[in-house]
Amino acid sequence: MITEQQRAERKLGIGGSDMPIILGLSNYKTPYQLYLEKIGETESTQEETPFQYWGNQLEGVIRDEFSKRNNVAVELPDTLVHPFHEFLRGNVDGYIREWNAVLEVKCSAGFMAHEWGEDGSDVIPMQYLVQVAHYCAVLDADFAYIAVLIGGNDYREFKYTRNFELESKIIDAAKEFWHCVQTKTPPKPINQVDLKLMYPKHDPEKTVTIEPDVAEQLTTLADTRFKIKALSEVEEKYKFNIMQFMKDAECLTDESGRPIVSWKANKRGTRTFLMKGMTQ
């Protein structure tokens, strides 16, 4: 868990948790949104999720488990800075001096278990791989270990051996992004949220004339909307037919008795139609 001081220092450079965002691997934040935070125009308003909360609470427990299983001492260093690129920084969950290795601790949801490899392997989800590769580049560490608790009861360990080609690409991407921060040159927007942040107000006196490529996209958009509307009407028709067949029944089952549709009232008394699965 990082301290408030370390959180403030994040604006001074690029940390390991920034790299998945910069490389477009994050589902929670875009490069443009990170850029706004780095230049001080916005503060991080992302609420702590339950998984993040429990990850923070269990970090010390998981770190101690790694130390016990491997019979090694794990240090907790302050913010680390790359020897040649001061803007490259790292707040690691642990450093194993006798192995010259980084330790990263994760607490992962059970439904993400398939994204991780077998215990002891090097099959690491890409967003975490680039994070530990960044830390190894900053510390000049030989290895990185990830201790992860999946679903609350599945403890696994993974090992990253330095890949200088990968780290070179990470450093190049970090340099490019940091140049954007220093020159206040915004990265390109990649979704509608970015555009709304980039252009929060409109100019009532400004118009633009359509161009051929935009006209083609507009035609495709109109066609897509028409197809969605048509499919929605088909969906509603068949839902109506099934609901009419069910009448006041709560559940529709297949021939073996397996539930495939439920239509029951919620706490407010409104019946909700939910498909659970289909027979082959």
Q: pLDDT tens-digit profile of 17-64?
A: 999 999 999 988 999 999 999 999 987 666 777 777 887 889 999 999
The predicted pLDDT at position 170 comes to 97
Residue 81 amino acid letter:
V
Q: Which of 124, 148, 118, 120 is nearest to 136 (CA)?
A: 124
The predicted pLDDT at position 228 comes to 97
Q: Answer for the pair 194, 35: CB distance below 8 angstroms, yes or no.
A: no
- Which residues fall within 8 angstroms of residue 245, CB to CB, at 6 or more apart? 252
Helix (H) or strand (E) holding 23: none
248 and 193 fall within a common domain: no
184 and 251 fall within a common domain: no
Helix (H) or strand (E) holding 92: none
Strand partners, 108: 150
Number of separate domains in the chain: 2
Q: What's the predicted TM-score (pTM) here? A: 0.81
Handedness of CA 200, 201, 206, 207 (dihedral sign): positive
Token couple for 104: 């990263």
202 within some domain: no
| CA pair distance 104, 145, nearest whole angstrom | 6
Domain boundary residue, one of 147, 165, 197: 197
